[in-house]
Copies of this chain bind each other. A is one copy, B any other.
């Protein structure tokens, strides 16, 4: 991802790119922010009546391919992993919305009495995100509907429907 490539892809001159962004750092920052603008409106979440239905409703073909593009972007960002500013503001920002959404859906499910009130929501709402990330970026296997449903039905819902064996809080 060189600036020449960026300019070429934009069918623009490098000078023009630098007219709009004063450095590559700013360009990357803005690009990340742009990608982070989530299409998922927090106040318009799916509400199917079951946690399982809500979660499945989140996984649209759109988001699958978007995720894969994000992973390719990550892999190509190379040197920016050193600057923790970017990891925090940019990369972590990718995942935070999903975690927030999961948290909200799970809290609703608790309210409905669908899952145990003593479940560790704070941890559970990071499970999908963590594992999708690991699968996409490390294992480089598709995070598709099959895997997603297996995750929900095989891990997440069983974990949430039971009270946890021992009460444990995690710092946040």
Q: Which A residues form the contact surface with B (CB < 8 A)?
A: 52-53, 56, 74-82, 84, 87-88, 91-92, 95, 119-120, 123-124, 126-127, 129-131, 133-135, 138-141, 146-147, 149-151, 153-171
- Which of A140, A146, A154, A156 has the most C-beta atoms of chain B within 10 angstroms of its own C-beta? A154
Given contact pairs A134-B129, A146-B171, A158 touches B153 in the complex (Cβ within 8 A): no
Interface of A, secondary structure class, is helix
Minimum C-beta distance from A68 to chain B (A): 14
A-B contact pairs, 18 of them (CB 8 A): A75-B82, A78-B78, A78-B81, A84-B140, A95-B138, A123-B154, A126-B134, A127-B155, A130-B133, A133-B138, A146-B171, A147-B170, A150-B170, A153-B167, A154-B159, A158-B159, A158-B165, A159-B159
